[in-house]
Structure 1
Amino acid sequence: MSPFHELETIDVAAWLERAANAQERFQIMYSVLRDRICMLVYPPGTQLTEEGLAAEFGVSRSPLRKALQILEADGLLQSQQGVGTIVSEVDLEELIQVYQLRMELNELAGKLSPSPATDTLKGLFEDMRKKAARLRETPTWEEFARLNIDFFHAFQQLSDNEPLRDVSEKLFTRPAGSG
């Protein structure tokens, strides 16, 4: 599950410093950047610079480059010669089609290797239900988007079918029109 609830207050450099190894540092950079794109901290069309991100994260550009390359392969970023790295644009018609496909895949979660709902997972869903009730009183798009992301990650835990989870994850974060 994505651990970012207050994106602007996270000290990514300190978090990276506490990472146990290079793979964990990569995963942190990748997750932070993906989350920022999905939460529109970096909206479509935003130019990202390796220099700025490396300075913020307290890393050299080399390990950061790997995270940016994977995000580009995921369709979230585009490298443009002479321009740099840009957050991908979204095609709303294709987004509708992706959403329809995601709905069909969600039904498969209960059919393909369903995993039992543990007490921990039930508690997580209950917490999200309470957040949704609070959102009805004071709605914000940021909190709705965060709840949607959290729900997706919790829902993913209801199936042990890894290929289904992988495809669902790619579609969840894929900007329509990019790939």
Structure 2
Amino acid sequence: MYDLKQSHVLVSDPVHLDFYTQTGGLRARGVEVEAHVDLTRNLNIIAAYTYQDVAYTKGSGDLTGERPTSVPKQTFSVWGHYDLHSGPLQGFGIGAGVRYNGNTLVDNTLEYVSPSYTLVDAQAQYALDAMVPRLKGMLLQVTAQNLLNTRYYPGCTSADTGCYIGANRNVIGKITYSW
């Protein structure tokens, strides 16, 4: 659990686009929970949840008590990874996960809301020493973020200037060596 306070916070200037002005402050209260669980020798799960109540404090004018822009009330993620330690596919591993981000306010007018979104990620890897022992420490890996190519908006500057479009599907391959 946390209870944080910040003073002299910058907010979008409603009169001058792309400019900011200082306001009274922010208060953030919430709880974050994370769990790492090894269900079996081969399967592990990581899950995290955040609930936060963030609001402008006294001295923030019309914004007092309101949620700031680009701050979700809730986020959640879960990731599972399965490794094969024996058999013909020894050294192979796969993982998949889901990330959820709650809705956010677009700007300080409190009229527009950017919708919540859920993204799916996946990963596959192969430890080369399972096939060639002298390659111990070498790992091939392919990771896909936003696997379903979901269109989402992770943040906004204002209703006038618009929102950022989140990254499209992104697939990255890499070879790493650990000694």
Shorter-chain TM-score range: under 0.3
Whose helix fraction is larger, Structure 1's or Structure 2's? 1
Whose strand fraction is larger, Structure 1's or Structure 2's? 2
TM-score, normalisation: structure 1: 0.23
Which structure is richer in relative contact order (CA contacts within 8 A, separation 6 or more)?
1
